[in-house]
Chains A and B, each alone.
Chain A
Amino acid sequence: MDFTTQLLIAAISAGTPLLLATLGGILTERAGIIQLGAEGLMLMGAVTTCIVYIRSGNLILALLAAVAITAVLGMVHAFLTVTLRANQTMSGLAMTLFGSGLSAYVGKSISGIPLPGSLPKLDLEILKPVPVLGELFGRLDMLTWFSLLLVLVLHLLIHHTSWGLHLRAVGDNPATADVMGIRVQLIRYCYVTAGAALIGLAGADMVLAYAPTWNEGLTAGRGWIAVGLVIFARWNPLRALFCAYFFGALDSLGFRIQLLGSAVPSYFLKMIPYVVTILVLMYLGYRNRNKPSGTPESLGTPYIREQRF
Chain B
Amino acid sequence: MSPKPGNESATLTPMAGRSGRWYSIRLEYDSSRTRSPWWTPILSVVLALLLCAVFIAANGMSPLVVYEKMFRGAFGTSYGFTETMVKAIPLLLCGLGIAVAYRISVWNIGAEGQLTVGAMAATAVTIYFPDLSSFWSITLMLVFGTAAGALWGLMTAVPRTHFGVNELITSLMLNYVALLALDYVVFGPWKDPKGFNFPGSPMFTAAQSLPVLGSTRLHIGLVFGLVAVLIYYLMIRFTRWGYELRLIGANPTAARYAGIHIKKHIIIVMLISGGLAGIAGMAEVSGVTHKLMQGISPGYGYTAIIVAWLAKLNPLGLIVTSILFGGLIVGGYSVQTIGLPSSISEMLQGAILFFLIAGDMIHRFRIRRSA
Interface contact B165-A278, CB-CB below 8 Å: yes
In Å, the complex CA distance between A220 and B172 comes to 11
In Å, the complex CA distance between A133 and B10 comes to 55
Given contacts A228-B169, A274-B176, contact A102 B357 (CB under 8 A): no
For B183, what are the chain A residues with a Cβ–Cβ distance below 8 Å?
Answer: 267
Nearest CB on A from B98, distance (A)? 11
Interface size on B, residues (CB 8 A): 58
Residue of A nearest to B12 (CB): A83
In Å, the complex CA distance between A78 and B29 comes to 17
For B344, what are the chain A residues with a Cβ–Cβ distance below 8 Å?
Answer: 101, 105
Q: Could you tell me the dominant secondary structure of chain B's interface residues?
A: helix
Interface residues on A, range: 35 or more
Nearest CB on A from B14, distance (A)? 4
Within 8 A of B (CB), among A169-210: 183, 185-186, 188-189
Interface contact B347-A186, CB-CB below 8 Å: no
Interface contact B357-A265, CB-CB below 8 Å: no
Quick one: which of B173, B181, B341 contacts A105, CB cutoff 8 A?
B341
Within 8 A of B (CB), among A62-107: 76, 78, 80, 82-87, 89-91, 93-102, 104-106
Residue of B nearest to A84 (CB): B361
In Å, the complex CA distance between A94 and B305 comes to 10
Indicate if B18 sits at the interface (CB-CB under 8 A): yes
Residue of A nearest to B365 (CB): A84
Nearest CB on A from B120, distance (A)? 13
Interface contact B341-A227, CB-CB below 8 Å: no
For B169, what are the chain A residues with a Cβ–Cβ distance below 8 Å?
Answer: 224, 227-228, 231, 277-278, 281
Indicate if A297 sits at the interface (CB-CB under 8 A): no
Residue of A nearest to B341 (CB): A108
Return the CB mask of A210-222 against B: 1 if under 8 Å, else 0. 0000001000110
Nearest CB on A from B70, distance (A)? 14
Indicate if A162 sits at the interface (CB-CB under 8 A): no
Indicate if A114 sits at the interface (CB-CB under 8 A): no
For A275, what are the chain B residues with a Cβ–Cβ distance below 8 Å?
Answer: 173, 177
Quick one: which of A94, A277, A286, A304 contacts B29, CB cutoff 8 A?
A304
Return the CB mask of B338-371 against A: 1 if under 8 Å, else 0. 0001011111111101101110111001000000
Interface contact B173-A101, CB-CB below 8 Å: no
In Å, the complex CA distance between A268 and B188 comes to 12
Indicate if B6 sits at the interface (CB-CB under 8 A): yes
For A76, what are the chain B residues with a Cβ–Cβ distance below 8 Å?
Answer: 354
Interface contact B357-A91, CB-CB below 8 Å: yes
Residue of B nearest to A288 (CB): B164
Indicate if A271 sits at the interface (CB-CB under 8 A): yes
Quick one: which of A87, A102, A108, A304 contacts B8, CB cutoff 8 A?
A304
In Å, the complex CA distance between A40 and B357 comes to 17
Within 8 A of A (CB), among B156-195: 159, 163-166, 168-170, 172-177, 180-181, 183-184, 187-188
Most buried by A among B55, B165, B351, B360: B165
For B309, what are the chain A residues with a Cβ–Cβ distance below 8 Å?
Answer: 90
Nearest CB on A from B5, distance (A)? 9
In Å, the complex CA distance between A96 and B301 comes to 14
In Å, the complex CA distance between A304 and B361 comes to 14
Nearest CB on A from B309, distance (A)? 7
For A78, what are the chain B residues with a Cβ–Cβ distance below 8 Å?
Answer: 14
Indicate if B150 sits at the interface (CB-CB under 8 A): no
Given contacts A80-B357, A307-B6, contact A216 B163 (CB under 8 A): no
Indicate if B306 sits at the interface (CB-CB under 8 A): yes
Return the CB mask of A263-296 against B: 1 if under 8 Å, else 0. 0010110110011011001100110010001000
Indicate if A36 sits at the interface (CB-CB under 8 A): yes
Most buried by B among A78, A83, A304: A83
In Å, the complex CA distance between A197 and B187 comes to 39
Indicate if B15 sits at the interface (CB-CB under 8 A): yes
Interface contact B343-A101, CB-CB below 8 Å: yes
Please name the 5 residue pairs, one residue from A and one from B, whose CB atoms are nearest each other, closest first.
A98-B350, A101-B346, A285-B163, A104-B343, A101-B347
Known: A85-B29, A99-B350, A271-B176. 6 other contacts (CB 8 A): A86-B360, A87-B360, A93-B107, A97-B306, A268-B180, A271-B180
Q: Which residues of B contact A (CB under 8 A)?
A: 6, 8, 10, 12-18, 29, 31, 55, 107, 109, 159, 163-166, 168-170, 172-177, 180-181, 183-184, 187-188, 302, 305-306, 309, 341, 343-351, 353-354, 356-358, 360-362, 365
- Can you list 17 A-B contacts (CB < 8 A)? A84-B358, A86-B360, A90-B357, A93-B305, A94-B357, A98-B349, A98-B351, A98-B354, A106-B55, A183-B18, A221-B175, A224-B169, A224-B173, A227-B169, A278-B159, A281-B165, A307-B31
